[in-house]
Structure formats: structure tokens, C-alpha cells
Structure 1
Amino acid sequence: MKQPAKEFRLLESVSEFTQHFGFPSPVHPLLAVVDLEKTRHLIPPTMPALRQLYIIALKKNLKGVIHYGRQAYDFNDGVLAFYAPGQMCEANDTIDISEITGWMLIFHPDLLHKYPLGKKMATYGFFSYQVHEALHLAAREEDMLVGLIENIRRECEQPIDAFSQDVLVSQLEVLLSYANRFYHRQFLTRRPAEHDLLTRFEEQLNAYFGQGEEHPLPTVQYFADALHVSPAYLSDMLRALTGQNTQQHIHQALINKAKQLLLGTSLTINETAFQLGFEYPQYFTRLFKSKTGLTPAAFRFSAQ
């Protein structure tokens, strides 16, 4: 039997968000900074909420085991999480917030619409990461972000004038630039997990193109699902460690396999394309030429 749709509250403004969670009313209509230490007494709402807002949160000293995806998550240390508009949130009544510290920055997409940052938001992959892929901060990094948040808090509490939005957006862009830098550092230095993920990705890639029979073209989503991470996280991790994103790795493996087939079999160009998973051979020819400078036929001829 089909389950009835679950009720939820739609939060489309910063004031609706703060009201829903019992936070103080925002001074600025498009942005608010919440001191989480001052929210310890609040009872989280039971109704799930769909947020049409950007949220950046540093939560510390939560008690209880929190599971995200396939991992248990530890909020004792500095951990920064990012949420994009359109993500659902639901209270977890097993978590003790009696000693919570940290902060939460909430801002509406309208804050950015007339600025280049509005278009740039799509390049910050961490807003589409799965929750268990949050940013683990070193102490000095956390202190730096706290200072930026304090600047944003003070600015949004000032009377609004002709420069208010410019100042807020510029400070927000600095915050996101630092977050981007710190994520890059995490990919390189946090622990062997990212390098293990790279190894497992390469094994998956080699296994996929090692198949002898025809198979569909692999997608970024396919490998992300196989490795239990989000597509954005996988691409950013690969770019940080290798200089190439997931799609570029797939294309490179595809071209390498194509060269093997062109030089080591008697398959026609069309048959080679179908073997690799292309529905239309002309797409294969176009990709091969863009990566090698030669058409498949010219490449085969040049090797004779």
C-alpha cells in the first residue's frame, strides 16, 4: 500500500526559519547569525522542514551517536556543514544539545542575486555534499572563521544603508573562499581515507572498462553510488588529488580502452563505439578526436 506523503513545513524566508526553530528574530531580512550556545534550552520542532535557504553551521559538543549515510559522526571537534536551498531537515530526538556550542549562518538566495557570487555558488561543491562529508576544521581555521562570522554578525545588526548588502556579500564571499581552501586541505592531509577513495575509484574504473562485453557508458553518478559518496564530493576530491574531476577520469579511461580496441581488434569504428557504450558512433568519434587530435580511423591508420 502506498504510504501517505509526510507533512512538512516550507521555510522560504530567514524569519520563517528562525521562527520555526525558536531562534531570535533576525535583524536583517535576508541573513542571520545564530549563537547555538544560546539555543540549548529550545526543544527542536518535530515537523520536518524544507528549507529554501543557504545554511552554514558549526556545531560542537553534541551528545549522542549521529549517523549520516554509512558513518557515525562526531561533533565534539570543529565540524562545518553546508546546506543548499531545497534540502529537508528533521529533528533527531536522540541528540542531547544541552552543551551545544557553535554558530549557524542562514542567508536567502536573494541576498546574492545582483552579485557575481550568486552565479558562483554553483561552483562550491560542498553545498551539495552529503552531510557526512562535512569540513573538519583545525583550531586555527575555526578561529579564523569565527572572526569572519563575528564581522558578518556585527554588519547585519547595523542599520541598513546603501552599502550594507555590498559589505555582507563581500564578507560572505571571503568566508566561502576560506571554506574552499580548507576543504582542499582536508582532501590532501586529513587522513588516508581520501587517498583510499582514490584507489578504490581507480579500481572501479579499471574493472568497468576491463569488461569484455558491451556495456553502457559509465556516469559520474554510477561511480559515486559505488563508492557511497556524492558526485560533487568525488569530483572535488579527485580534482584536489589528481588535477582532474570524475568526468575527466572517465573520459581518459574511455580513450585508453578505445585505443586498445582500435589497435588490438578487427572491430569496425562503429562496433568499437557500441562496445564502449556509445549509442551513436559519431559521438564516439567526436570525443576521441577532441582528446587525441585524431579521428578513430586516423589513429588506427597512423599505427600501421
Structure 2
Amino acid sequence: MGDIIKLDSVQDYNELLGVETLHPLVSVVDMSQLEMIRHSRKNFGFYCIILKQLHCGPLLYGRNQYDYREGTLVFVAPGQVAGNNDNGETLNPHGWILMFHPDLLRGTSLDKQMKEYTFFSYESNEALHMSERERQIVINCFNEIREELEHAIDKHSKQIIVANIEVLLNHCVRFYDRQFVTREIVNRDLLSRFENLLNSYFNSDKPQQFGLPSVAWCSGELHLSSNYFGDLIKKETGKSAQEYIQLTTIERAKELLSEGKRSVSEIAYILGFKYPHHLSRLFKKVAGVSPNEYRRVS
């Protein structure tokens, strides 16, 4: 029931699905052409983009409804586990699967850019919900890759396939930008929760116990993946989550300095800095003056 199927290669997944392998490093599967399949949890050794056809009706984002019933994209990176435990049910799936091995990208510009597509590290509840127009663009990209795979492999195949994957990924960046915008109310609420989380942290003894709050800790407390959280904060504030934490930390340092009751060393300890000069360095970087200089003019 809880077994995880290890898929090291594209061919491993093709065999599991019962489809022919046209290229050892990349495959496009139209799930509507598959026989009945069962649930399984899979450990992927390659990248996988899964278009799920949904018929769940409108989704409620904040106070508004957005009808993205046409499809959802889920992104899986090598080493990740995805899927559901086998409960005995069989599925007649609809959707598409694009799988490509990291070796396909070796020596290409896309290989160096993959880390910029942070949605491969998002959680499944942070998937990309698409409109009909967006879904059709994605399917067109899948078809372009599949048509190339159906030709005999030659010296141009890799370049053309990788170029089409890059076009698809760049469309996904645009679609996620749209999703961040359409979820503006939800995002503002998250930003407010983030601010409250930091304020609560600095009002407790946690800084003395654990040091400064990390992006990973904050995202975990807000039940988001670090990458999705970081991308969302960047979209909302123009600053990275780490920069936002640093700004909040220095604002709290300014408050304590203005009170005039504690030394810089005491304030550094209260805020969770390991050494006082770490506070002084960050303060000068963010505020443009040293803590003592700030105290003299405040």
C-alpha cells in the first residue's frame, strides 16, 4: 500500500505507463490514450511536468472566483516523490505528462537556468491553475515536443526539443505571475501573517534560543514551500524573504536603540545575533549608519 516505485529513467516511467520509448531522455504522454492505471507513489529521477485535467468548478481565491477547471500543472524535480498510495482503485486518466532527464540538458543554456524555475520545488498545493487559453498553450508545447520525438533522431533533435521545453517553462513563469496577481487578496493576507509571525518571534525569547528567524522556518510556519514563499514575497514587496526579515530585524533594532536603555551588545543578544558585530554590519548595510551613529541622531 505504501510502497514507493523508484523511477530512475524516462524508460522506467514509460514502461510503468505501458507506452513506447521514442527517446531515452525525454517523453510526452497523452494520458487519455492509456489503459486504466492505478495510483502509486513514485520517486522520480528526472523532471516531470504533469497536466491534470480537472472538473472541480470555480476555485475561490479570497473573495473572488476564478474558473480554472480546465487544468492544473504539477512540477516534479529529480529526487522528489509524487503521487498517491495505491488504494486499489483504477483510473481512466486525462491529461499529459512531459518527462525529461537532466542529461538531456547537459551542455545547453537551459541546464544553467533550471535553478531559476523555482516552481519545481513548490508543494502540490501550490500547483499552477490554468485557464483554457493557458492550457491550450501548454498542450501545444507538448505536441511540438512529441512531433519532434516522432521524427528520426538527428543532430538537430536535442537543440529543438530543449528549445521547446524552455519555451514551455517560460510560459509557466508568465502563468505563475498571473496566478500571483489573481490571488492578490490571499497574498496580502499571507504577507500580513508573515509580518505577525516576525513580530511574535521578536516579542518572544526565541531569538535568544534559536537566533534570527530563517526563511525556511517562516515558510514552514506558514505551511508553504520555501521557494513558493520566497517568490510570493518577492512579487508582493519587491524584496526577497531574507531581505524582508533583515528589514524587520533592523526596525526592531532601531526601536531598542531609540529607547536608550541597552548597549549594542545587549540588543544584538536580544535579537538573536551570535556576535554584536554581526548586528553592526547588517545595520550599516540596511540603515546606512552604524547602530551608535543612529542612536546619536535619533
CA contact 1:36–1:59 (8 Å) conserved in 2? no
Aligned AA (2:150): E
Match of 1:57 in 2: 50
Q: Which deviates more from structure 2 when the two are superposed, residues 78-87 or residues 202-211?
A: 202-211
SS of equivalent to 2:48: strand
In 2: Cα distance, 1:77 partner to 1:145 partner: 12
**C-alpha deviation, 1:254, in angstroms:** 0.6
CA contact 1:59–1:75 (8 Å) conserved in 2? no
Q: 1:75 to 1:292 in 2, by over 3 A?
A: closer
Matches within 5 A, 1:116-131: 116-131=109-124
Match for 1:135 among 102, 109, 128?
Answer: 128
Match of 1:66 in 2: none
Aligned AA (1:291): V
In 2: Cα distance, 1:127 partner to 1:185 partner: 17
SS of equivalent to 2:37: coil
Match of 1:97 in 2: 91
Is 1:264 the equivalent of 2:224?
no
CA contact 2:215–2:242 (8 Å) conserved in 1? yes
In 2: Cα distance, 1:219 partner to 1:245 partner: 12
Contiguous gaps of at least 5 residues in structure 2: 57-66
CA contact 1:273–1:284 (8 Å) conserved in 2? yes
**C-alpha deviation, 1:133, in angstroms:** 0.7
Q: Deviations over 1:44-100 (max 9, x none)?
A: 4x5x4321110001011489xxxxxxxxxx9954111000110123544456622x3
Match of 2:11 in 1: 15
Match of 1:277 in 2: 272
Scaled by the length of structure 2, what TM-score is found?
A: 0.87
SS of equivalent to 1:106: strand
Match of 1:289 in 2: 284
**C-alpha deviation, 1:157, in angstroms:** 2.0
Match of 1:204 in 2: 197
Q: 1:212 to 1:143 in 2, by over 3 A?
A: same
Is 1:184 the equivalent of 2:180?
no
In 2: Cα distance, 1:257 partner to 1:191 partner: 27
CA contact 1:235–1:246 (8 Å) conserved in 2? yes
Match of 1:231 in 2: 226
Q: 1:187 to 1:90 in 2, by over 3 A?
A: closer
Q: 1:264 to 1:220 in 2, by over 3 A?
A: same
Equivalences, count: 284
Q: 1:214 to 1:92 in 2, by over 3 A?
A: closer
Match of 1:156 in 2: 149
Match of 1:69 in 2: none
In 2: Cα distance, 1:219 partner to 1:161 partner: 48
Q: Which deviates more from structure 2 when the two are superposed, residues 291-300 or residues 87-96?
A: 87-96
**C-alpha deviation, 1:218, in angstroms:** 0.4
Q: Which deviates more from structure 2 when the two are superposed, residues 30-39 or residues 9-18?
A: 9-18
Contiguous gaps of at least 5 residues in structure 1: 1-5, 64-73
In 2: Cα distance, 1:190 partner to 1:214 partner: 32
Q: Which deviates more from structure 2 when the two are superposed, residues 270-279 or residues 199-208?
A: 199-208
SS of equivalent to 1:248: helix
Match for 1:173 among 155, 166, 172?
Answer: 166
Cα RMSD for the two superposed structures: 2.3
In 1: Cα distance, 2:190 partner to 2:175 partner: 19
In 2: Cα distance, 1:75 partner to 1:41 partner: 26
In 2: Cα distance, 1:30 partner to 1:127 partner: 18
Is 1:110 the equivalent of 2:106?
no
Aligned AA (2:272): G
**C-alpha deviation, 1:159, in angstroms:** 1.4
Aligned AA (1:251): Q
**C-alpha deviation, 1:287, in angstroms:** 1.3
In 2: Cα distance, 1:213 partner to 1:267 partner: 19
**C-alpha deviation, 1:119, in angstroms:** 2.0
**C-alpha deviation, 1:140, in angstroms:** 0.8
Scaled by the length of structure 1, what TM-score is found?
A: 0.86
